[in-house]
Structure 1
Amino acid sequence: MRIRLKSLCLPALAIGLCLGSVGVPASAFAQSTVRATVNDQAITSYDVSQRVKLMTLFHQATGDKKALEELIDESLLDQVAKRRNMGPTDAMVEERFNGIAKQVKLPPAQFVKALGSQGVQADSLRRFLRAQITGAMVIQARARSTKVSEADVQAQIEKEGIQTETATIREFKLQQIVFVVPKGSSPGLVGQRQREAESFRSRFSGCGNSLAQAKALKGVVVLDMGRRDTTQVQGAAGEALKTTPVGGTLKPEVTERGVEIIAVCEAKDIRSTAGVRAEIEEKLASEQNKNLGKEFVAELRKNAKISYK
């Protein structure tokens, strides 16, 4: 089955962020107390207060108790992720962070100062973003265990009266242009590579010229992805492919390898029931998994050692 990992969507910072630089006094850490432990992992009063301020800034319902419970849930999911060697890279977190800065029309450095002026440390926002991405990854992995039988798919096709005899699927020949970011690189390099990728994309003149275009840049690799259909490219990329013309490119995406662009070299419709069956399977799986996140966290809580102080 396929579960799309949706992009995180945070509300815009509708309030004005003043640009005074405000640091966190050392006493804020010194006076911090442990509010709860989750399998011996501590959550402090400082963690809770930062989360309350952050959610207030995003105009989200919050409060001391709600923030503490959210942090407990995030700790449980993070512990699962660590056991499974899962989790976002620093580059992925920084991309989300910089995306919010862009949303409020501030350079990242000024955005950090603006957050500080509201009593929110940049690392508190990064921790929140990392937790959101990690939680999505863990739930996605859990969802993969959901099985939709061929019989269920066929029954749904018949129920909806879909004519599979005339079904087609879109097939693409794709190329991948990777702006490499070595592991351990500074967040600044990720931003630089994103700008280079955007510039490359604006000058892209087709798959036949991409290799020559890439040779003019350092640390850029062009890869042939071969032929893929719409069932093999999922998430935001899969949706974008539906509206990207031949000779066009998808928006740059930060991955573990760096910043990647997908180019559409060819596209054609072929006779196949795979697309119809994939959509039905995803629909049925989504119905089965609609409460998966809450149910999984409840299961983790039941088996965890949680102590409130």
Structure 2
Amino acid sequence: MRLRIVPVFFGLALMLAAPLATPSHAAIKIIVNDVPITDYDISQRARLITMTQRKSASIAKKQAEEELVDDQVKLAEAERVGIDVSKSEVDNAFNNIARNVKMSPAQLSKALRSGGVQPDTLKERLKAQLAWNQVLRSRFSGRIEV
């Protein structure tokens, strides 16, 4: 009887572990406001930082973790005050970056992919930045005098 139970448990363990080995099920490293930040998210942001800011991998990884936490806090605050950044706003910002580096959006996406970064990594960063800018504008719009 014992011999039959062990293979069943072993089989179940293999079935449960197999999906976790895929990149889409990366290990959760940090949870911010009930939003998980995975190893994959951190590695993608670190690659983006390395590509754009020419920092070493160890510094980029630490900075990536900090930025991802900050981004989740900014997005949560934006949601709290009723600000929602649309996909078209993010796409416009992405297109502006492409234009500034004299590329088409498709070329920028290809350049990011060649560096091991998914374009959505940059778009998520842009979404947090746009949301935060709107939060600041709404909060201080009537208070700043020049």
Q: TM-score, normalised by structure 2?
A: 0.73
1:137 deviation in Å? Answer: 1.3
Task: Give distance in 1, aligned partners of 2:24 and 2:80.
Answer: 29
Task: Give distance in 1, aligned partners of 2:48 and 2:41.
Answer: 11
Task: Give distance in 2, aligned partners of 1:103 and 1:132.
Answer: 17
* More contact order relative to length (CA 8 Å, sep ≥ 6): 1
1:34 deviation in Å? Answer: 0.8
Q: Unaligned regions of 5+ residues in structure 1, if any?
A: 1-25, 147-280, 284-309
Residues 98-247 of structure 1: pairs in structure 2 closer than 5 A: 98-144=95-141, 146=143
Matching residue of 1:89: 86
Q: Which of 282, 292, 295 is the matching residue for 2:145?
A: 282
Kept in 2, the 8 Å contact 1:87–1:133? The answer is no
Task: Give distance in 2, aligned partners of 1:60 and 1:91.
Answer: 29
Q: Unaligned regions of 5+ residues in structure 2, if any?
A: 1-20
Q: Cα gap change, 1:55/1:137 in structure 2, threshold over 3 Å: closer, same or farther?
A: same
1:89 deviation in Å? Answer: 2.1
Q: Which of 72, 80, 85 is the matching residue for 1:75?
A: 72
Task: Give distance in 2, aligned partners of 1:101 and 1:27.
Answer: 31
CA RMSD of aligned residues (A): 2.1
SS of the counterpart of 1:63?
helix
Q: Cα gap change, 1:145/1:41 in structure 2, threshold over 3 Å: closer, same or farther?
A: farther
2:48 corresponds to 1:54: yes
Q: Which has the higher helix share?
A: 2
Task: Give distance in 2, aligned partners of 1:82 and 1:111.
Answer: 29
Which residue type is aligned with residue 22 of structure 2? S
Q: Which has the higher strand share?
A: 1
1:140 deviation in Å? Answer: 2.4
Kept in 1, the 8 Å contact 2:112–2:118? The answer is yes
SS of the counterpart of 1:35?
strand
Q: Cα gap change, 1:81/1:122 in structure 2, threshold over 3 Å: closer, same or farther?
A: same
Q: Cα gap change, 1:282/1:129 in structure 2, threshold over 3 Å: closer, same or farther?
A: same
Kept in 2, the 8 Å contact 1:87–1:137? The answer is no
Matching residue of 1:29: 24
Which residue type is aligned with residue 282 of structure 1? E
Q: Cα gap change, 1:47/1:145 in structure 2, threshold over 3 Å: closer, same or farther?
A: farther
1:60 deviation in Å? Answer: 5.5
Task: Give distance in 1, aligned partners of 2:110 and 2:44.
Answer: 15
Task: Give distance in 1, aligned partners of 2:116 and 2:126.
Answer: 18
Which residue type is aligned with residue 110 of structure 1? Q
1:59 deviation in Å? Answer: 1.6
Matching residue of 2:4: none
What is the number of residues matched between the two proteins?
123
1:145 deviation in Å? Answer: 7.1
Which residue type is aligned with residue 39 of structure 1? N
